[in-house]
C-alpha cells in the first residue's frame, strides 16, 4: 500500500513531467489549465497516466471535473482509499 505522501509525490512528479514545472513549484491551488498550462488533451493525458500509474479506473465525468492540483490529489486519494 502506497503511503499518502508517496502518492502525492508521485502525482507531483507526473505533473512535472508533463508540464516542465519543477515538482517543488507545484502548489495545491494551481489550476491545471491557467497555471500549469495543460490544455484539454494534456489534462486527459495526465489523468490517463495517473490511472495507469496507480492502476485505477477513472471515468470521464470524474476526469472532466478536475480543475486543479488539489482536485487531482483528491481524485487519487478517493481511488486509493
Partner 1 sequence: MSILAGDLLNPAPVSTLREALDRIGGKSDVWLTVHAGVNRQTFGGAVLSRLARCWARSLREAGVQRGDRVALLLPNDIPFVAAFFGCQYLGAVPVPLAWPVSLLDLNRVLDSLGPLVANAAPRVIVTTPAVASMKPFGLPAVVAPHPVPARGLVAPAKDDPAFIQYTSGSLGRPRGVVITQQAAVASAWSMGQALGVGRQDVGVSWLPLFHDMGLVGGLLCPLLYRFPLHLMSPGEFLLHPRRWLRLISEEKGTVATAPDFAYALCARRVKDLAGLDLSSWRHALSGSEPVHRSTLDAFAEQFAPTGFSARALKPVYGLAENTLGVCFGDGEEPDAEWQGRTICSVGRPIPGMEVQISESGEVLVRGPSRMTVYFRDPEATARTVRDGWLHTGDLGFICDGRLYLTGREKDLVIQNGRKFHPYDIERIAAAAVDAMPNGAAAFADADEALVVVVETREQLDDVEKRVRGELMAALGVRPSRVVQVGLGELPRTSSGKLRRNACVERFT
Binding residues for partner 1, rule: CB under 8 A, are 33-35, 37-45, 47-49, 51-52, 58-60, 63-65, 67
12 closest CA partner among 2, 30, 24, 3: 24
The least distance separating partner 1 from the CB of residue 5, rounded to whole angstroms, comes to 26
Nearer to partner 1, 4 or 52 (CB): 52
Q: Which is nearer to partner 1, 24 or 41 (CB)?
A: 41
| 68: β partners | 31
Alpha helices in 1-81 (DSSP H): 4-19, 40-53, 60-64, 69-80
Q: What amino acid positions are annotated as catalytic residues?
A: 39
Amino acid at each position: 500500500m502506497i503511503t499518502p505522501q508517496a502518492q502525492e509525490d508521485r502525482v507531483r512528479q507526473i505533473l512535472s513531467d508533463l508540464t516542465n514545472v519543477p515538482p517543488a513549484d507545484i502548489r495545491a491551488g494551481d489550476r491545471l489549465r491557467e497555471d500549469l498550462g495543460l490544455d484539454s488533451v494534456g489534462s486527459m493525458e495526465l489523468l490517463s497516466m495517473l490511472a495507469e500509474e496507480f492502476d485505477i479506473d477513472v471515468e470521464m465525468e470524474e476526469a472532466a471535473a478536475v480543475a486543479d492540483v488539489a482536485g487531482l490529489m483528491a481524485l487519487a486519494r478517493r481511488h486509493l482509499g
